[in-house]
Amino acid sequence: MLGRFEYARPQSVDEACRLLAEGGRAAAVLAGGTDLLVDLRNGFRSPSLLVDVKRLGELQALKTRSDETVVGAAVPLNVVVENRELRKAYAGLSDAALSIATYQLRNRATVAGNLCNASPAADMAPILLVLDAELTVQNAKGTRAVPVATLFTGAKRTCLVPGDVVIDVRMPPLDGELRTAFRKQQRIRGHDLAVVNAAAAYAPSRATLRVAVGSCAPTPVLLEPFDTKGTSPQALADEVLRAAAAATAPIDDVRASAAYRRAVLPVLLRRLLADVVSGRGGGI
Amino acid sequence: MHDIELRVNGHAERASVPAGMTLLEFLRDRLALTGAKEGCGIGECGACTVLLDRTPVTACLVLAVEADGLDVRTIEGEAADGELSALQRAFVDAGAVQCGFCTPGMIMSARALLLRSPHPSDEEIVEAIAGNLCRCTGYEAILAAIRAASGTGGEP
Ligand SMILES: Cc1cc2nc3c(=O)[nH]c(=O)nc-3n(C[C@H](O)[C@H](O)[C@H](O)COP(=O)(O)OP(=O)(O)OC[C@H]3O[C@@H](n4cnc5c(N)ncnc54)[C@H](O)[C@@H]3O)c2cc1C
Ligand code: FES
Ligand code: FES
């Protein structure tokens, strides 16, 4: 038994919002449950109501078009991984999803759940930060867009409030070529949380590079955009490394020491930049 | 309590379950299907793997009430009329079963793989069973068993 609580499977988003608003802090949204049910089992959380949003139609969208890419909040990671259009447009997104947990868990786990859980090591966070993704969030008062860049307010904390339901994650329209990549340093090859993770998006025609780093601060960190015009790959890498070091503050934890994280971050970033700048893409 | 209706290995089941009961507890304690094991209870080991609508999940991290209306398959659904499935037979023949604790989950992950990819590559096999830990075999015999069962068809 994972505890004493009530379970509801609302028939509409409105009903979900109402149940969550009534429940306040004692209610929790249940998506794949791969973070939440572990927290219940370990006694880290003890909500009195779980509101299961997995079967709500509005949360099942998966659209990849040049003008609009939408990943519904209930879409399991395996569906994201296996979508060819998504891989063509955003290889880094597919690779980040594939790097999470195991096949069995990816049948349950969602992109939205990964973001809302707000682990500093969340593997979907860096790539969605560099893509300027936004969450569509609904509550009893209405619907609003929340940029992923403003979502994280601390380790395991977000700006969402009780009653909020994430409906989907949206990427802005693709405007010209965009090369994306994700890299993750783990203790073991296989399923493990990141010691350090990072993602990049490079738009050659606009000469801009976006880089985000995870597991090196209380929240995933998006660096200021880099102007790549007239910069050698070497100089660009040095600039990115300097900015990343300045924007992060690694700590010692069960997975690695701060010193190891500081040492491995530049290695990971150089590989990541080679992925996007040389156009090799992918690779974890 | 929640009233649920689901299919388990082809049989319709109805039950009333508390919200906090996992699908693994439901299968083991209510239906006496003790093939799926609890190794860790937190999604790490895969010993509790069952198929939910033909796709593998860790039953320790699924609530019984979440399986309402869905189709569940466990290791007990593999053998028909006392005859091992080709996949089970391949595990025995390859020496892929030692203590056996991981085996029910391992076979369900392999079953799901054969359902979606009847002739899997080694890479696909490794990815499919990466979430099933085995402390005994060193995995080589398991890979050999799944390779041998490749092409025997998705259904047991
Ligand atoms: C063995 C194991 C390995 C793992 N490996 C990794 C890994 O390699 N990398 C990684 O990043 N993570 C990993 N995880 C963590 C977890 O699987 C992911 O974070 C997953 O994406 C969470 O999604 P979920 O749908 O299961 O979320 P849930 O557990 O359902 O929810 C997580 C949180 O988000 C909230 N939430 C979920 N959906 C919504 C919504 N639509 N609206 C509002 N709030 C919502 C919930 O209330 C809860 O607080 C692992 C977990 C396990 C058990
Ligand atoms: S018991 Fe479910 S994964 Fe270990
Ligand atoms: S046979 Fe013993 S754990 Fe796999």
Render pLDDT for A180-232 as a digit per residue (tens, 0 to 9). Answer: 999 999 988 778 899 999 999 999 999 999 999 999 999 999 999 999 999 99
Geometric angle at alpha carbon A261, from A258 and A262, rounded to 5°: 85
Q: How confident is the model at residue A217, as a pLDDT?
A: 95
Give how far Cα A18 sits from Cα of A13, A52, A167, A217, B74, Å.
Answer: 9, 13, 15, 35, 37
Q: What is the pLDDT, as a whole number, of residue A279?
A: 58
B65 and B91 together in one domain? no
List the alpha helices (DSSP H) in chain B: 23-25, 86-93, 103-116, 122-129, 140-149
Judge if B7 and B38 occupy the same domain: yes
- Distance from Cα A106 to the centre of ligand 1, integer Å: 10
Helix (H, G, I), strand (E, B) or coil at A227: strand
Element (H, E) at A49: strand A49-52
Which residues of chain B make contact with A9, given a CB cutoff of 8 A? 65, 68
CB pairs under 8 A between A and B: 79
CATH classification for the domain delimited by A6-50, as one of 3.30.43.10, 3.40.718.10, 3.20.20.70, 3.40.50.720: 3.30.43.10
In this predicted structure, what is the pLDDT of residue A174? 85
Confidence of residue A94 (pLDDT cuts 50, 70, 90): very high
Percent pLDDT > 90 in chain A is 89
B130 and A6 within 8 Å at the Cβ level: the answer is: no
Orientation angle between helical segments B103-116 and B140-149, nearest 10 degrees:
40
Give the gap in angstroms from C-alpha B138 to the nearest C-alpha of chain A: 15
Among residues A216, A211, A219, A271, the alpha carbon closest in space to that of A240 is found at A211
pLDDT band of residue A173 (cuts 50, 70, 90) is confident
Task: Mark whether B15 and B66 lie in a shared domain.
Answer: yes
| Contact between A191 and A102 (Cβ < 8 Å) | yes
CA dihedral of A203, A276, A98, B66, whole degrees rounded to 10: -20
pLDDT at A175: 80
* DSSP string of B12-46, one letter each residue: EEEEEE-TT-BHHHIIIIIS----S--SSSSSSS-
List the CATH code of the domain at A179-278.
Answer: 3.30.390.50
The alpha carbon of B62 and the centre of ligand 2 are apart by a number of angstroms equal to 11
Tokens encoding A19: 């149940």
Q: Do B131 and A4 touch (CB under 8 A)?
A: no
B116 located within any domain: yes
Residues 6+ apart with CB under 8 A from A45: A28, A36, A39
Check: CB of residue A200 under 8 Å from CB of residue A191.
no
Structural domain contains residue B156: no
Looking at B77, B101, B122, which one is the last position of a domain? B77
Provide the mean pLDDT of chain A: 94
B60 and B37 in a single domain? The answer is: yes
Considering only alpha carbons, which residue of chain A is nearest residue B68?
A9
Instruction: Work out the percent of chain A whose per-residue pLDDT is above 70.
Output: 98
Looking at beta carbons, which residues of chain B come within 8 Å of A52?
66
Are B20 and A5 in contact (CB < 8 Å)? Answer: yes
Quick one: DSSP state of residue B82?
T
| Nearest CA-CA distance, residue B58 and chain A, Å | 6
Q: Enumerate residues 6+ apart whose C-beta is below 8 A from B154.
A: B111, B114, B115, B116, B118
ipTM surpassing 0.90, yes or no? yes
Give per-residue pLDDT as tens, B9-22. Answer: 999 999 999 999 99
The residue from B19, B45, B77 where one domain ends is B77
The CATH code of the domain that includes B35 is 3.10.20.30
**CA-to-CA dists, residue A226 to A171, A241, B30, angstroms:** 20, 12, 59
E strands in A92-195: 134-139, 142-147, 152-154, 157-158, 165-171, 179-185
Same structural domain, B134 and B91: yes
- Residues B102 and B135 reside in one and the same domain: yes
Domain count, chain B: 2
Q: Sorting pLDDT into bands at 50, 70 and 90, what band is A277?
A: confident
Whether pLDDT at A283 is above 60:
no
Whose structure tokens read 């998705």?
B154
CATH of the domain at B117: 1.10.150.120
Residues with Cβ < 8 Å from A53, sequence gap 6 or more? A10, A13, A16, A29, A30, A31, A59, A73, A74, A165
Q: Do A3 and B20 touch (CB under 8 A)?
A: yes
Same-domain check for residues B34 and B16: yes
The protein residue whose alpha carbon is closest to atom 4 in ligand 3 is B134
At A66 the pLDDT is: 74
- Is A185 within 8 Å of A264 (Cβ atoms)? yes
What pLDDT tens digit does each residue of chain B (156 aa) get?
A: 999 999 999 999 999 999 999 999 999 999 999 999 999 999 999 999 999 999 999 999 999 999 999 999 999 999 988 899 999 999 999 999 999 999 999 999 999 999 999 999 999 999 999 999 999 999 999 999 999 999 886 676
Model pLDDT, residue A282: 44
Please name the member of B20, B62, B128 whose beta carbon is closest to the beta carbon of A33: B62
Query: A58-171 has which fold?
Result: 3.30.465
**pLDDT band at residue A65, thresholds of 50, 70 and 90?**
confident
Domain membership flag for residue B133? yes
Distance CA(B155)–CA(B105), nearest Å, equals 17
Query: Who's near A169: CB < 8 A, 6+ residues apart?
Result: A70, A71, A73, A111, A112, A115, A128, A133, A134, A135, A136, A148
Report the C-alpha gap between B37 and A257 in whole angstroms.
Answer: 35
Q: B residues 105-124 near A, CB within 8 Å?
A: 109
Name the phi and psi angles at A182, rounded to 5: -135, 140
| Domain ranges (residues) in chain A | 6-50, 58-171, 179-278
> Measured between alpha carbons, how far is A61 from B47 in angstroms, rounded to an integer?
32
Contact between A31 and A110 under an 8 Å Cβ cutoff? The reply is yes
Amino acid A131: pLDDT? 97
**Alpha-carbon distances of A39 from A258, B52, B56, B71, rounded to whole Å:** 25, 22, 22, 27
Question: Which pLDDT does position B154 carry in this prediction?
Answer: 65
Q: How many angstroms separate the Cα of A205 from the Cα of each of A93, A176, B113, B120, B136?
A: 21, 7, 42, 40, 54
CB contact under 8 A, A41 and B18: no
Its domain, for residue B39, covers 2-77
Mutation site, B57, B124, B139, interface A, largest A CB count within 10 A: B57
Which of B57, B77, B97 terminates a domain? The answer is B77
Residue B62 belongs to a domain: yes
